Amino acid sequence: MANPFSLQGKVAVVTGGNTGIGQGIALALADAGASIASVARRPSDETVGQCLAKGVKAISIQADLGSMEPIERIVSEATAGLGPIDILVNNAGIIRRADAVDFTEEDWDDVMNVNLKSVFFLSQAVVRDMIAGGRRGKIINTASMLSYQGGIRVPSYTASKSGVAGLTKLMANEWAKHGVNANAIAPGYFATDNTQALQDDPVRSKEILGRIPAGRWGQPSDIGGAAVFLSSAASDYVQGITLPVDGGWLAR
End-to-end CA distance of the chain: 39
Question: E strands within 48-123?
Answer: 58-62, 87-90
Per CATH, the architecture of 11-247 is what? 3-Layer(aba) Sandwich (3.40)
Q: Report the 10 Å Cβ neighbour count for 63.
A: 19
Q: Residue 1 pLDDT > 80, yes or no?
A: no
Q: Report the 10 Å Cβ neighbour count for 242.
A: 20
Q: What is the pLDDT of residues 209-222, one digit of tens each?
A: 999 999 999 999 99
Sheet containing 11-15: which strands, arranged edge to edge? 58-62, 35-40, 11-15, 87-90, 137-142, 180-187, 242-245
Angstrom CA distances, 24 to 63, 124, 126, 143, 181, stand at: 19, 24, 22, 16, 21
Catalytic residues: 157
Q: What is the pLDDT of residues 10-39, one digit of tens each?
A: 999 999 999 999 999 999 999 999 999 999
- Residue 198's pLDDT is 86
In terms of Cβ atoms closer than 10 Å to its own Cβ (0-12, 13-18, 19+), residue 158 is buried
pTM above 0.85, yes or no: yes
Q: How confident is the model at residue 48 (pLDDT cuts 50, 70, 90)?
A: very high
Q: Which residue has the higher pLDDT, 197 or 156?
A: 156
